[in-house]
Each structure stands twice: as C-alpha cells, then as structure tokens.
Amino acid sequence: MRASSNPVTLHDIARASGVSVNTVSRALTGKADINADTKLRVQQIASQLGYRPNLMARALVQGRTRSLGLVVTDCTHPFYAMLIRAVEDVCSNAAYSLVLSTSSGSLEREASALHLLTERRVDGLLLAPVQVGTPQMRDLLANGPPSVLLTRRPAGYEGPFVGSDNVQGARLAVRHLLELGHHRIAHVTTPKAGGSDVARLRGYQTELATAHIKFDADFVVSAPETIEGGRTIAATLLAIKPRPTAVFTYNDLQAIGVMLGLGAAGVRVPQDVSVVGFDGIDVGGITAPQLTTVAQQIDRIGRLGAQLLIDSLEKRPIAKTTNLLPAHLIVRGSTAAVRNR
C-alpha cells in the first residue's frame, strides 16, 4: 500500500495500538499528561507504520500553517537569490515551510500571487515587491497576514521593515569618488521609482552638497536595472558635456553593463572613467576590472526579516521592528584617482 495514496492517520495508529485517537495525538505531540509506557509504545507503532502528521489538518484546527510566503520580483537576480537563501535557511531551522512567489515586475502577477498566498493561509508574508505603495498593498498590509517588508517600503509606512540605509550607502560611494579627486560624477538611476532609487539619488545629492559641488541634473540618467540597461546607457553617459570622470550606478548589474559599454566604446575603466555599483553581489568580484561597490548585508536582511516575522508570530519579544542596516564600501579595481578633469 503506497503511503502517498493512503497515508496512515492517527486513527490507524489508534487501532493498531488499542488506544484512542486522542491518546495517540498526545503521545506523538509530546504532551506531559500521558503514561510513559503507552507513549513509547504508541510512538514505536507510529514510526513502524511510517506515520507522518497531516499538516493541513493540523493547520485547520490550530489556525496556523507554519508556513511563510515570500514574494520577490525575480529569483534569478543574485540579490534576490541570496535573500531567498537567507530566508529559506531561517524558515528551515524553525520548521517553517517557505512558499515562493515571483512577481516578475508585474503588478498583476504580484496581486495574484498575494491572493494565492492569502488563500493558502500562510502565517506571515515577506515582501520585496515591485510596487509597494499601491492601494491593494496598503489594504494587504492593514488587513492581511502579518507582513515584513524587505528592502523597500512605501512612504509613511511604519510597520515591520528590514533593509539597507540607501542614503548612507550612496554617500559612501560618492565620498569615495570625491576622495579620489572626482568632481564630475554621474549617477545612473532607474525608471522604477520604487523607493530605494530615490534614497540612493538623495544620498548622491547630499554627499555632493557636502563637498560644495553643485548638483547638475544632466549628470543623472535613468536606465533599466540590468546589465543590458547599463550597457546601453554607457553611450549616453559619454555624451554628457563635460564628460563625467566617474559613474555611480543604482546597482551592480547596471555598473557591470556600464563597464562593458564603456569598454566597447574604447573607454578604459578605471583609467578614463571610474565606476561604482551598489549591492555587493558576488559577480562583481569576477569582472575585469573587479567592481568597486557599496555592499548591502543581504544575508542579514533576509535572516533578520524572517526571524522578525517568526518571532512576532510566536509572540516572542522583538527588539526592533524597523531595521535600517548600514551598507559598506568595497573598494576594488573599477575606481581610481581622477586623471583628466
């Protein structure tokens, strides 16, 4: 008899061991009020029969599923891949299951993913979503299962959140370039306007202001947050007059693309133009030159977020509900002192 077609239930064990279903349940869930002998006997029979509790049934009566939903835009993006790994690890250690959904950057898909997760009654939601400020999202945050936002949050949101301090991170990047003598520093942002791009732009502006460099809107361009986006925008960057000597991009993939685009145009990195990325994904360590970048604590963000959610679900005391982790600069080969200013 195949276990899949006919899984053994508490009832089966009860019959096989001559006690009631109730007793079996208590024996297996390790309750105190049960005779040690019967407990052992029942446990033996259960394992003999290959018993596996039906978590659906348990969820129905307990009102909790011991599962978490995670929504990301794209799990092939190294940033999200690392985030997923961190979350999955915490879940696994806490005996929670992780239901993964991908929005692919589409609001429609994101919405249907959230519906499905809601219907599946996940105990909590971890969201690193496309558009975090939509009415539907606000409704979900107010009425849905407990949620923790990762990396992005809508303006005015005060709930559980874990992410990087994008302003501080961006300032690190720009300061590094300033210290290398660069004055004409371009910034590549994204058309998404998800929140972190705004913060990074603000950090860029703030740090320039600190150095008494006048902000020039011509030095800010926008491109998709991908390698291809960066590659394509390289020509635009080179066309800016006067030509920038350094570029700070929204993220590492863009930065890699910019380096490739510059290289294709015969412009050397870092001799002619310095490039700084943001994220700190592994791939930045194998490009030529290796990418100088502002590294986020991706693993920590994922772990902290998942732990925060689980702790709150299990009514454990939680230290901080809003966690803005500092980013740090990794100086590698794509930046150098300015030559021709």
Partner DNA sequence: TTGTATGCGTTATCAA
Partner DNA sequence: TTGATAACGCATACAA
Q: What are the CB-based long-range contacts (under 8 Å, 24+) for 54-61?
A: 54/7, 54/9, 59/121
CA distance 143 to 138: 9
My answer on whether omega of the bond before 242 falls inside 30° of 0, hence cis, is yes
In sequence order, the β-bridge partners of residue 124 are 68
Question: Of residues 41, 121, 183, 300, which one binds its own copies by CB under 8 A?
Answer: 121
Is 302 within 8 Å of 83 (Cβ atoms)?
Answer: yes
CB 181 → its own copies: shortest distance, Å?
Answer: 27
**Token digits of residue 231:** 């590659």
Stretch that binds its own copies, among 1-9, 37-45, 160-168, 184-192 (CB under 8 A): 1-9
Task: Tell me the sheet residues that pair with 161.
Answer: 149, 322
**Considering only residues 2, 33, 95, 319, which one is a binding residue for DNA as defined by CB under 7 A?**
33
If the CB atoms of residues 59 and 238 are measured against its own copies, the closer one turns out to be 59
Query: Rounded to the nearest whole angstrom, what is the least distance from the CB of residue 163 to its own copies in the complex?
Result: 19
Residue whose C-alpha is closest to residue 16's, from 45, 52, 50 = 45
Binding of DNA by 36 (CB under 7 A)? yes
List the interface residues with its own copies, window 75-104 (CB under 8 A). Answer: 75-76, 78, 81-82, 84-85, 88-89, 92, 95, 97-102, 104
Q: Give me the 6-45 binding string for its own copies, x by CB under 8 A, dash otherwise.
A: -x--------------------------------------
Q: Where are the beta strands (DSSP E) in the chain?
A: 67-72, 97-102, 124-128, 147-150, 161-164, 185-189, 220-222, 246-249, 274-279, 292-295, 322-325, 328-330
* Cα 278 to Cα 258: distance, rounded to the nearest angstrom: 13
Return the one option of DNA, its own copies, none that residue 20 interacts with (CB less than 5 to 8 A, by type): DNA
Binds its own copies (CB under 8 A): choice among 12, 21, 28, 53: 53
Q: Contacts with DNA: how many residues (CB under 7 A)?
A: 31
Report the residue from 3, 15, 22, 265 that binds DNA according to the rule CB under 7 A: 22
In terms of Cα–Cα distance, which of 68, 84, 62, 153 is closest to 117?
A: 68
Judged by the rule CB under 8 A, the positions of this chain that interact with its own copies are 2-4, 7, 50, 52-57, 59-60, 65, 67, 74-76, 78, 81-82, 84-85, 88-89, 92, 95, 97-102, 104, 109, 112-113, 115-121, 142-146, 227, 256, 260, 283, 286-288
Residues that bind DNA (CB under 7 A): 7, 9-11, 18-23, 25-26, 28-29, 32-39, 51, 53-54, 57-58, 60-63
